Amino acid sequence: SAASGDSHCATNGVPIVRNISELDQDSYGRPGLSHITIAGSIMHGFKEVEVWLQTFAPGAHTPIHRHSCEEIFVVMKGSGTLYLASNSHKKYPGNPQEFPVFANSTFHVPVNDAHQVWNTNGHEDLQLLVIISRPPVKVFIYDDWNVPHTAAKLKFPYYWDERCYQTSPTKDEL
């Protein structure tokens, strides 16, 4: 299959030790983002957890989104803001709470809460280690905070999973 020719997609397993600075790094079409899948499900064959290293340039941000997995962040560098709408009883996220995040902090997103991470620091990159459960991630995207939960759009596979998903032999199992 095409997978075997694409070094990006190590569906037959990965070396035990890898140098993170030699791993694939890409914006995956998102302005100001640098994403590295340190340990991936579709990309590397991990089944229960996935680990990303993401760097957001000043002003860069995630979409407003939700997912039903656990998500834990460790802030490696910089600072920013987590916007979190916990009012899951409403029909739409509504105004989110703002949580400042900073180097050497950890934060998490409760399962299914709509959220967005911004680098709101004008001067420094925001670097995050991101851990999610139950990969591959199934992300529902909101165009704004007033979009009804039922109208959020599933993006699957997600940006960095697309390339390997198209060629993955596990596709039929998902």
Q: Give me the residues that bind a second copy (CB under 8 A), please.
A: 14, 16-21, 38-39, 46-49, 51, 69-70, 72, 74, 82, 84, 99-102, 104-109, 129, 131-134
Residue with tokens 């790094």: 25
- Is 16 or 89 the residue whose CB approaches a second copy more closely? 16
Identify residue 72 by its one-letter amino acid code. Answer: I
Q: CB of 105: closest distance to a second copy in angstroms? A: 5
Rounded to a whole number of angstroms, the minimum distance from the CB of residue 112 to a second copy is 13
| Range 12-26 burial, b when 16+ CB lie within 10 A, else e | eeeeeeeeeeeeeee
Contacts to Zn ion from residues 62-91, by CB under 5 A: 71
Phi (first) and psi of residue 150, to 5 degrees: -70, -15
Q: What are phi and psi of 117, to 5 degrees?
A: -110, 130
The length of the chain is: 174
Name the residue nearer to a second copy (CB basis): 15 or 29. Answer: 15
Which secondary-structure segment (H or E) carries 164? helix 162-165
Please identify, using beta-carbon distances, which residue of 69 and 114 lies nearer to a second copy: 69
Beta bridge partners of 81: 100, 118
Q: Which does 47 bind (CB under 5 to 8 A by kind): a second copy, Zn ion, none?
A: a second copy
Total binding residues for Zn ion by CB under 5 A? 1
Residue nearer to Zn ion on the CB measure, 86 or 167:
86
Q: Which residues here bind Zn ion, judged by CB under 5 A?
A: 71
